[in-house]
Amino acid sequence: MKKTLNVVELFAGVGGFRVGLEKADKELFQTVWANQWEPSKKVQDAFNCYNTHFPFSVNCNDDIGKVSNKTFEDMDIDLLVGGFPCQDYSVARSLSKEQGIEGIKGVLFWEIRRIVEVSHPKYILLENVDRLLKSPSKQRGRDFSIMLATFRDLGYIVEWRVINAAEYGTAQRRRRIFIFAYDKSMAYATDQLQKSTSEILLKDGFFASTFPVKEEIYKNRDDKVELPIDLVEISDDFSFNYHTSGIMIDGKIHTMHTEALNPKAIPLKNILQDEAEVDEKFYLSEVAIEKFAYLRGPKKIERTSKEGHKYTFSEGGMSPVDSLDLPGRTMLTSEGTTNRSSHIVEVNGRRRYLTPIECERLNGFPDNWTATMSDRMRYFCMGNALVTNLIEKMGNTIKLIDEQETQNSTQITLAI
Closest to 280 measured CA to CA, from 380, 351, 201, 370: 351
Half-sphere exposure of 98 (CA within 13 A, CB side): 0
Contact between residue 267 and residue 327 where contact means Cβ atoms under 8 Å apart: yes
Residue ranges in 363-416 assigned as alpha helix (H): 375-384, 388-415
> Coil, strand, or helix at residue 6?
strand
Instruction: Single out the catalytic residue among 49, 86, 359, 381.
Output: 86
Instruction: Tell me how crowded residue 371 is: count the other CB atoms within 10 A of its CB.
Output: 13
Can you spell out the DSSP letters for 169-186?
Answer: T-SB--EEEEEEEEETTS
Q: Find how far residue 124's CA is from the centre of its chain.
A: 12
Contact between residue 216 and residue 201 where contact means Cβ atoms under 8 Å apart: no
Q: Is 381 a catalytic residue?
A: no
For helices 375-384 and 45-53, what crossing angle results, to 10°? 80
Q: Is the peptide bond before 136 cis (omega within 30 degrees of 0)?
A: yes
> Coil, strand, or helix at residue 90?
coil
- Tell me the pairing of strands 156-164 and 245-249: antiparallel
> Coil, strand, or helix at residue 356?
helix
Contact between residue 104 and residue 60 where contact means Cβ atoms under 8 Å apart: no
Rg, C-alpha atoms of the chain: 23
Any idea which residues carry the catalytic annotation? 86
